Amino acid sequence: MNTKTLRISCAQLSFPVGAIQENKDKIINTLKEAEKVHSDIVLFPELALTGYPPEDLLLRESFVGKNFAVMEEIAEFSGKTSGVIGFVDRSLKKQKNDNVDRDIANAAAIVQNGDVKGIYHKCFLPNYSVFDEARYFDKGTNPSTLFWYEDIAVGINICEDIWIEDGPAEEQIKKGASIILNINASPFDLNKINQRKDKVKNKAKKLGVPIVYLNMVGGQDELVFDGGSFVVDKNGEIIYMAPQFEEDFFTLDVELDVKDIISESNLYLNDKNVELEPLVSTKELDKIESMYAALKLGLSDYVTKNKFNKVLVGLSGGIDSALTATIACDALTPERVIGVAMPSKYNPKSSLDDAKQLAKNLGINIKEITIEDTVENIRTLVSANIEEQLKSVVDENIQSRVRGNLLMALSNQLNAMVVSTGNKSEMAVGYATLYGDLVGGFALLKDVYKADVYNLAKYRNSISEVIPQNTIDKEPSAELSENQFDSDSLPDYDTLDKIIKLYIEEDFSSEKIINSGIDKNVVYDVLEKIDRNEYKRNQVAPGVKLTNRAFGKDRRMPITNTYKRERN
């Protein structure tokens, strides 16, 4: 069988949602770079032109129309190097799933020599987890579409298409494809990286052709796109692995078998007169490294894209606020982070000392605001309007809400977004105060279990010791009453985290969780807390999705819910 070399460039880049003009400029500049190395094809991510996910922007005709006009401009610019570019196309089929016509498609345009030479429509539209593509798009009905570069048949498909058994990739191989190019906007979670690699490696081995898997990178609201693009040969072996959580532009030559099929071609191969530098794969990050990188990128992009100059972090001397401030400094630089310590009479001096030491280690400014007088004034005002003694929970929440009020006032004054510090374990069971420690524009640790808060802190200190050891070692406490500790209200965090994971991420029943070896009364108490506090979580700011089931868009539970679990 004859072979031929296909030179492929991959643009693992960030494409912000709605920034169509900016994304056009980035695409054109990348096409220029690919031309310099005489690439045959340069791949761009899924919906690169609009950014992903554009959500209800897709319901605006002006947005979709702008996307068409700009795609024409990109096509006119294209030269010998062919571009495969994710964009929104018109669909004339208007398939009916319900009473709404969907007249657009998630598409890839193939451009070369000043024209759009072909278009592929995504055939399988994910409608689970954080995805709701069936809300907007009509699905493609030509999964076997091929694009011929002289006598090489190329199969191009989009994201979910590659996950389907006997899907578009298989159809394209049957028609004669010598390679599969899959463009993605696949958000990060801790299980996804290995799942992607295993799926694509097995598919390449099964089909006997190389596969290029290109992914987007960057933060978008709660989602982080982690890059990690890769290329596998026909035996399923990885040829190149791109870095995670950072942009990368790479080019490689792939040797392909030329199938004995004759087809009319309207795409051309480039003259390859430029030698390529050999590629060296990037070392894959472990779980904690990936989490830290995702949190950094998610916060950085959220702050930058929403045009905040700085961020504020309330520093209690505890582990959650210490980790939050540390990640903020790594993501944004210390000059853009302001710490605020707000001690009351229940905060020991050691906690304030830990907060100050953290600020010194990080090189950030810290404001110290003593809140006791303000809290006492509110206690007096509330007590004067009730006929009973102030409940302990009311007193505790007054302190937390005074702190929240101060943070938001400083936020308005300084144009600095508040980053809240609560973690997933606390939010699950409602161990947090609405309009108090839950205030903020971004809940960075929203999908981080308490155990991983400690793991992340230790990981960061292994690079340079910034979080005081006393902060890591001391027993967790909200410090809202005398000698208060988290263990007074909650089971130990290892047990709590196990219950939350089984219930939220695995959808285990109470019986199944109890059968895993946990005391049934503890299980019922925790599950009731989780169910009862849906209304709180619904009001929490967005935060980085790390697990396969995060609170927020990923888990949609009714707030008003009268279904009650019976204890056995």
- Return d(Cα 287, Cα 188) in angstroms, integer: 12
**Bigger pLDDT: 240 or 392?**
240
- Return d(Cα 294, Cα 287) in angstroms, integer: 11
- Return d(Cα 11, Cα 27) in angstroms, integer: 9
pLDDT recorded at residue 559:
85
pLDDT at 358 over 80: yes
pLDDT recorded at residue 1:
64
- Return d(Cα 358, Cα 319) in angstroms, integer: 11
pTM of the model: 0.92
Q: Is 465 a catalytic residue?
A: no
Q: Is 367 a catalytic residue?
A: no
Q: What's the pLDDT band for 11 if we cut at 50, 70, 90?
A: very high
Give the residue among 294, 303, 272 at the shortest CA–CA distance from 223. 294
Question: CATH 3.40.50.620 spans which residues of the chain?
Answer: 288-486
The predicted-structure confidence for 441-467, as pLDDT tens digits, reads as follows: 999 999 999 999 999 999 999 999 999
The CATH number of 3-279 is which of 3.30.450.20, 3.60.110.10, 1.25.40.80, 2.40.50.140?
Answer: 3.60.110.10
The predicted-structure confidence for 82-118, as pLDDT tens digits, reads as follows: 999 999 998 877 666 777 778 899 999 999 999 999 9
Indicate which residue of 26, 122, 234, 305 is catalytic. 122
pLDDT recorded at residue 555:
86
Exposure of 280 by Cβ count < 10 A (0-12 exposed, 13-18 middle, 19+ buried)?
exposed
Q: What's the pLDDT band for 484 if we cut at 50, 70, 90?
A: low
Mean pLDDT of 256-265: 78
* Ramachandran category for residue 98: left, alpha or beta (phi over 0 → left; psi -120 to 50 → alpha): beta
The predicted-structure confidence for 139-154, as pLDDT tens digits, reads as follows: 988 999 999 998 899 9
Q: What's the pLDDT band for 480 if we cut at 50, 70, 90?
A: low
pLDDT recorded at residue 481:
67
Indicate which residue of 117, 159, 170, 426 is catalytic. 159
Instruction: Looking at the structure, give the CATH architecture of the domain made up of residues 288-486.
Output: 3-Layer(aba) Sandwich (3.40)
Give the residue among 15, 1, 68, 6 at the shortest CA–CA distance from 41. 6
Q: What's the pLDDT band for 2 if we cut at 50, 70, 90?
A: confident
Question: CATH 3.60.110.10 spans which residues of the chain?
Answer: 3-279
The predicted-structure confidence for 62-85, as pLDDT tens digits, reads as follows: 999 999 999 999 999 999 999 999
**Bigger pLDDT: 277 or 29?**
29
Q: Is 329 a catalytic residue?
A: no
What residue type is 17 in one-letter code?
V
